[in-house]
Each structure stands twice: as C-alpha cells, then as structure tokens.
C-alpha cells in the first residue's frame, strides 16, 4: 500500500489497529473525585447567581405559583426577609418583578413612587444593604392589555412613547435606591435613552443591565402566569426577537453595548447556548444569561415526577451556562443551588 492509502479497500483502510496506543488515555484524569476536581475547567460561583423575586401588592400576594413549584409572590415585607435568607446563603443579587393591584393602558403604576417595586427596593436595601437590588424595567406587568409598551391608535406598540414611560419608571427606581436597572421591553434605542435620562438626573453611576438579546419565546409561559402579564391580544413578536436569528442576536448585543449597556443579557438560556457563546466572544462588557420560567418549570415537573435527578440536572445546566461564556446567571434555582452547595 502507498502512504495515501491508494489502492486499499475500505475494509482494509478502516480496519482497527490490533494494538491500542496506550499513550493516549484521557481516562487517566477521570480516575478519582480529587483528580476530576483538579482538572475541572469551569465552576459556578454562588456570587454570580441572581435570584428573581416577585413582589406583589397586598391584593396580589398568593402562595406558590402553580407552574413554578418553590417560587412565590411575596409581599414587600416577605421579600425583605427572603432577601435576608439569600444573603446568608451567599447570594449577592436579586432581580425584582412587580405584581401591582392597579393596571391601566399607560402603565401608570409602574412609575408610582409608592409602587410595589419602589417600596420593595427601599425595604430590601434597608433590611440587607449589601444585597444588590436589580429592578426589571418593563411595562407589561402594569398595562391592562399586557403588552410591554404603550399602544398607538392602531394597537401597535409605540416605540418612543414607551421610552418616555420607561425613563420615568427608571428614575423612580433610582430614587428608591436601586443598584441596577434592567430594561426588558426590547424597544429600539432604550439603552441610550435611559443612559441619557439617568445621567441628566444625577444618576451617572447607576448601571444598566440590558436584556439585549431577548427572544419571543414560549419559555416565558409560567412567568406570565406569575405576574399576570399575558398579552390580551396579539403577541410580542413585533418587539422581541425571532428565535431562528443568531446573527441578529450579536448585532443587538453590540448595539446595546454601543448605547452604553454595562451588562448585556441573553434570554432564554438553555436553547440559546450558542448565542451566549457568540455574544461573550464579542462583548467588551459582562454577559448575563436568563434561565427563564419555562426552563425552571420543565426541570421541576420532571423532577417531581421522579424522572430526573434535579440536583444533578441543575448542576449540569448552570455549569453549561458558564462554559458557554456567561458571567452572570439569573435563575430561579439560585437559592436551592446555594443551599445544596453550602460548605
């Protein structure tokens, strides 16, 4: 036979060698727990996890969210004591979502200085000053039609009218003492608009974590049950991204960084690991990913049925987000993961 294998039959060409080359043995580094620990490439730091919290006005507090076992709507006081527990477990940040009593077409209760999120920010910062309080900034929990923006006479989301409301709400969160603003509405130009608004009002040091790459995803179903934000008509496809588009995701992230985002987020996480990787490769700022409600619900449902091992599944998922390039992980599993990994 010649060097290129010319003239050999396929069977000859692919015949296994009779002797295994024992110098190539990847299993050498898998032989014990200590060895596996020694060569482990990635770890999930508890301090990079963010726990989402639903804070509800009096009339809206209720027990567990049916599609999210272990997740609750808290009153303002209960949210503050929950935060104390999270702090004791080593969690450094919470992400607040409001469930208000009052909704109207223009999201008035979003920028009420005594609104539920504004009160929760004050209560949590008073109870646990070291906890980073991130506030999700969006209108969908506060509009009676359930859309993330203000609607024009045709029922379409009016981009610039929405920015104004977002700006007012961001300032009311800033005044309440929030540590990070996290716009999740997907309006065009909102990061630049919010940066300018905050800077002009004496908050140049307040960071913006942008939901830069946010898809119109079916994985948000349980969340919408949690906060009653299901659109009353239509869907969010005219402002959230189309799931098949990856190149556009990178472009959205770069746009937001250009507009002044301090952190960019990819959401959801499990079905978008490729985009966490792509964004982390080009981003000059930290990258967050959001392991969303539907992802939590799937794991919980299977675990409660005894079909999967929740603890191992969660460990595997969280480290996959880190391996993909996420610096920050927003996850409903933050608390239970921290509880299991306390030393």
Q: What are phi and psi of 173, to 5 degrees?
A: -70, -40
- Choose between 48 and 184: whose C-beta lies nearer to ligand PBG: 184
CA 93, CA 334: separation in Å to the nearest integer?
A: 10
The total of other beta-carbon atoms located within 10 Å of residue 159's CB is 17
Question: Out of 103, 125, 214, 335, which one is annotated catalytic?
Answer: 214
C-alpha span between 94 and 80 (Å, rounded): 11
Reply yes or no on whether 24 is catalytic: no
The minimum distance between CB 153 and ligand PBG, in angstroms, equals: 23
Quick one: CA torsion of 285, 261, 245, 50, rounded to 10 degrees?
A: 70
Rounded to the nearest 10°, the torsion over CA 295, 301, 304, 307 is: -90
Residue 62 is a catalytic residue? no
CA–CA dist 222, 50 (Å, integer): 18
The footprint of ligand PBG (CB under 6 A) covers: 136, 138, 140, 148, 184, 220, 223-224, 236, 292-293
Q: Are 167 and 193 in contact (CB under 8 A)?
A: yes
Q: Which is nearer to ligand PBG, 109 or 293 (CB)?
A: 293
Q: Which is nearer to ligand PBG, 209 or 250 (CB)?
A: 209
Q: What is the closest distance, in whole angstroms, from the C-beta atom of residue 200 to ligand PBG in the complex?
A: 25
Q: Residue 224 Cβ, how far from ligand PBG at the closest point, in Å?
A: 6
Nearer to ligand PBG, 112 or 141 (CB): 141
CA distances from 339 to 70, 72, 130, 266 (A): 13, 17, 19, 26
Which CB sits closer to ligand PBG, 172 or 293?
293
Burial class of residue 51, CB neighbours in 10 A (0-12, 13-18, 19+)? buried
- Considering the candidates 125, 267, 300, 335, report the single residue annotated as catalytic: 267
Minimum CB–partner distance for residue 226 and ligand PBG (Å): 8
Q: Which positions are annotated as active-site residues?
A: 214, 267
């Amino acid at each position: 036979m010649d060097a290129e294998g010319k003239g050999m039959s396929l069977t000859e060409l692919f015949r296994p060698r009779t002797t295994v080359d024992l110098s190539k043995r990847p299993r050498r580094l898998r032989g014990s727990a200590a060895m596996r620990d020694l060569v482990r490439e990635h770890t999930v730091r508890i301090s990079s996890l963010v726990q989402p919290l639903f804070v509800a006005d009096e009339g809206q507090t209720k027990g567990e969210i049916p599609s999210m076992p272990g997740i609750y709507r808290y009153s303002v006081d209960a949210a503050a004591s929950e935060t104390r527990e999270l702090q004791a477990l080593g969690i450094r940040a919470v992400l607040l979502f409001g469930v208000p009593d009052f909704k109207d077409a223009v999201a008035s209760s979003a920028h009420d200085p005594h609104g539920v999120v504004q009160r929760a920010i004050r209560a949590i910062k008073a109870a646990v000053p070291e906890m980073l309080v991130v506030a999700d900034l969006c209108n969908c929990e506060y509009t009676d039609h359930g859309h993330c923006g203000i609607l024009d006479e045709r029922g379409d989301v009016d981009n610039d009218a929405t920015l104004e409301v977002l700006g007012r709400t961001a300032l009311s969160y800033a005044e309440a003492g929030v540590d990070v603003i996290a716009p999740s509405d997907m309006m065009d130009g909102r990061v630049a608009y919010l940066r300018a608004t905050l800077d002009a009002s004496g908050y140049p040091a307040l960071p913006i974590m942008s939901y830069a790459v946010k898809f119109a995803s079916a994985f948000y179903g349980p969340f919408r049950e949690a906060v009653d934000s299901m659109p009353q008509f239509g869907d969010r496809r005219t402002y959230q991204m189309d799931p098949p588009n990856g190149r556009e995701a990178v472009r959205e992230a770069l746009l937001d960084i250009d507009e002044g985002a301090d952190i960019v987020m990819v959401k959801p996480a499990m079905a978008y690991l490729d985009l966490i990787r792509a964004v982390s490769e080009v981003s000059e700022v930290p990258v967050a990913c959001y392991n969303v409600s539907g992802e939590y619900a799937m794991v919980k449902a299977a675990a409660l049925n005894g079909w999967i091992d929740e603890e191992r599944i969660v460990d595997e998922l969280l480290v996959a987000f880190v391996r993909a390039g996420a610096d920050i992980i927003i996850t409903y599993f933050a608390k239970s993961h921290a509880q299991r990994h306390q030393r």
